[in-house]
């Protein structure tokens, strides 16, 4: 399951169109609205978490851009300092997407950066502060080219 967070900007021309409805219907993606400020005949913004197959999410993002929505990925990257980490596994209990998991039988803590959404829940819970979060924005076109 591909899961990313995006910042969407709607012009007043399209702010009253059912664009998110069409995104879900046509591209079979799930969404979670994290923040929205959209009113008819005004510019609007939305922070949206999208989930689905990578191909469907990327096609959906292309649809949004074709509709005139400015799309930017809210990029948050989580890094683990392997020298600090002592494999306690506390982070695996709070990771909502399974990016952090325990490999059995050796009990090693694995980190899958492709699954990570950058939520940052692992950062404050790590007892040795081995997890770090950096925030930034990247254009969606960079993601589509990956």
CATH number where 124 lies: 3.30.70.20
81-121 pLDDT, tens digit each = 999 999 999 999 998 888 899 999 999 999 887 788 777 88
One domain, residues 21 and 58:
yes
pLDDT at 77: 74
pLDDT at 75: 62
One domain, residues 108 and 71:
no
pLDDT at 102: 94
3-13 pLDDT, tens digit each = 888 889 999 99
For residue 13, what are the contacts with CB-CB under 8 A and spacing of at least 6? 68
pLDDT above 90 covers a percentage of the chain that reads 48
One domain, residues 29 and 81:
no
One domain, residues 49 and 114:
no
The C-alpha atoms of residue 34 and residue 86 are separated, in whole angstroms, by 34
One domain, residues 83 and 70:
no
For residue 18, what are the contacts with CB-CB under 8 A and spacing of at least 6? none
127-136 pLDDT, tens digit each = 999 998 776 5
Q: For tokens 């076109």, what's the residue?
A: 141
Q: How many domains would you assign to the chain?
A: 2
Q: Domain range holding 121?
A: 77-133
């Amino acid at each position: 399951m591909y899961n990313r967070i995006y910042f969407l900007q709607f012009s007043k021309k399209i702010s009253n169109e059912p664009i998110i409805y069409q995104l879900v219907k046509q591209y079979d993606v799930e969404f979670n609205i994290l923040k929205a400020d959209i009113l008819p005949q005004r510019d609007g913004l939305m922070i949206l978490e999208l989930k689905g197959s990578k191909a469907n999410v990327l096609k959906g993002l292309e649809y949004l851009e074709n509709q005139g929505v400015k799309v930017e990925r809210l990029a948050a990257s989580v890094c683990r300092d392997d020298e600090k980490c002592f494999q306690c596994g506390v982070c695996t209990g709070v990771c909502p997407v399974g990016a952090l998991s325990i490999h059995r039988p050796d009990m090693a803590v694995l980190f899958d950066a492709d699954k990570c959404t950058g939520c940052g829940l692992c950062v404050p819970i790590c007892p040795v502060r081995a997890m770090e979060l950096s925030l930034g924005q990247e254009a969606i076109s960079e993601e589509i080219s990956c």
